[in-house]
Structure formats: C-alpha cells, structure tokens
Amino acid sequence: MDEPTRPTLGFIGTGPVATALAQSLAVAGYRIAALHGRDAQRAAALAQSLPQAAVAASRQAVADGADLVILAVPDDAIASVADSIAWRPGQAVVHCNGAATRALLAGAEAAGADVGVFHPLQSLPHPNRTRERLKGCMFRVEASSARLSRWLEDMAHAVGGRPLALDVDPTLYHASAVLASNCLVALLDLASELWAELGVPREEGLRALLPLVRGTIANVEEVGIPAALTGPIARGDVGTVAHHLAALNELAPSVASVYKQLGLRAVELAVAKGTLGPDGARRLRELLAQRERGTGGVR
C-alpha cells in the first residue's frame, strides 16, 4: 500500500501552539481529523475554526483516527500524556518542546510508533492571530523515520516556514530562543520601568520605545551584527556612558547590572565594527566592569 503523502492529523491540547498549527495546516490543505482537550469549550471553539475537525471524546480517539498526532501540551505533561495512549505500529506522534528530543516519546516508539519533534521557533503567547506568526519561522524537526522526517519537513514548508534538523542536543538552541525572545521581553520591561522615574507611565514609555526596537531589528536584518550597533558605546562616548551608570546606580541598581553586562558585549561589537579604538574600549571596559555603587573616575 502506498504511504499517504500527507498524513491525516490529530491534535491533543488546545492552547496557542495547537491553534497556530491546526489552523495553518488546515489552510494549507491538511486534514485535521480530530482534536482533544480537557476543556471541552476550548476544544469546541478550536474545532469550529477548522474546516473538518471534530472534537474527539478522548485522547485515544484522536490517536485512533490520525496518521500523525501532535501533542501540543505543556512540556512537563508530554511524557505522561503520550504514555496514556495505546499507540499502534505505523502511526506517528510528535511533541512541540524545543528543548527536548524525541526521547520523551520513548514509550510510543517502543509500541511501534514513529516519534519526533515539531517545534515552531516562534513566540505564541495566546491563541489569537497565531497563524500569521508561523510564516517565515524556523521549525526544529526531529524524526525516528525517514517517512516522518519528510512529513514534518513538508508541514513546515506548507505553513510558510523552514525546517531545521539538528543532530545535536537541542538545549542550547532553546536557550538561544529564550535569550532572543523571553529575555527581550524582560529587557523591554526594564527599559520601560525607567520611564516611571521620569514621571511618565511605563506603558507610555514602552509605546515610545517600540519604534526604536522595530528600527533596531530592521537594522539587524538589513546590515547584520556588528554593523547595526549605534549609540554611545559604538561611538566611544565614554562620558555619556559614565553619566548613565551614575544615574542607574543611584536610581535603578538592578537595571545598572544588566546595562553593564550587555554594555561589555557592546564594547566588543563596537571594536569589531571598527568604530571604537583601543583606548576607548579599555576605558569603557573598566567603567562597565565596576561592581561597586558609583561610577568611579573615567580615565
């Protein structure tokens, strides 16, 4: 019997990742046979947004009706959810955890299923407008068989993304994603907090900063790193940096430590860009490496 070129899909979980994948894959022409979530209302709402999908009465019913089951549940629930299902040889199951390998699905593999990972390298905080977010994004794919590998690569392309097969432990890949996305959110929170010191509500500060952030990202896309670096460190304006540190040490010491840490990295980028000479770099390194309160002298 010929292998189906496109698997019939089933989803377990009804959160932002299940929503993004199910809606994008349905638009791309994949058949979503069934989905299941513990919250019946959320499952019904997701099924209604898809052309053919039905809400299944149980996880097992999803697995029974699908060639490929996508487990879009929290990381800590993946193994127990997978182990609660009786898998059959020939079917396939993937999880969406970027930091874990397919070994999380060892029980399903032992039962004869193909197992893998399908991780969208995207931030999806809620189920709204998630579909647009998948276009152009990278999908880490991992598979125990060539057939599943092909299915996952086709799915990534079908939703406008790009598949990436990593043959190494994915922990650093995921740590990199956390730095670039989650830590960026934390950084913007810190930056907007400073506006409260200016007497401007932090929400307004954030709104003011967003065009700057978008411009910076566009610069990184257009000219790359280190060319995209601007500002006092890139220019070697040591006095301006000293003033920043004096004010931050006084008014926001926790922000000062982040500023110093990232500032030291910016010094290396400025040197690589060629806009910061050895003397300016030495003075900035000394300034930014200071631990105690106060800026100390600038030599």
Ligand X SMILES: NC(=O)c1ccc[n+]([C@@H]2O[C@H](COP(=O)([O-])OP(=O)(O)OC[C@H]3O[C@@H](n4cnc5c(N)ncnc54)[C@H](OP(=O)(O)O)[C@@H]3O)[C@@H](O)[C@H]2O)c1
Subset of 69-128 contacting ligand X (CB under 6 A): 72-75, 77, 81, 95-98, 119-120, 122-124
Task: Establish if 10 lies at the interface with ligand X (CB under 6 A).
Answer: no
Render the burial of 15-29: b for 16+ CB within 10 Å, e for the rest: bbbbbbbbbbbbeee
**Minimum separation from the CB atom of position 82 to ligand X (A):** 10
- Per DSSP, 297 falls in state -
Q: Which residues pair with 12 in a beta bridge?
A: 36, 71
Alpha helices in 102-231 (DSSP H): 106-110, 130-133, 146-158, 171-177, 183-197, 202-223
Q: Which is nearer to ligand X, 119 or 244 (CB)?
A: 119
- With respect to ligand X, which residue has the nearer C-beta, 126 or 299? 126
Q: What's the sign of the alpha-carbon dihedral 51, 52, 55, 61?
A: negative
Widest pairwise Cα distance in the chain:
78
Site for ligand X in 28-57 (CB under 6 A): 37-39, 42-43
Asked if residue 81 lies in contact with residue 12, where contact means CB atoms within 8 angstroms, the answer is: yes
Cβ atoms of residues 109 and 115 within 8 Å: yes
In the complex with ligand X, which residue's Cβ is closer, 15 or 236?
15
Per CB under 6 A, does 204 bind ligand X?
no
**Please, which residue, 14 or 101, has the CB nearer to ligand X?**
14
Q: Given the complex with ligand X, which of 14 and 23 has the nearer CB atom?
A: 14
Residue 32 Cβ, how far from ligand X at the closest point, in Å?
A: 16
Positions in the binding site for ligand X (CB under 6 A): 13-18, 37-39, 42-43, 72-75, 77, 81, 95-98, 119-120, 122-124
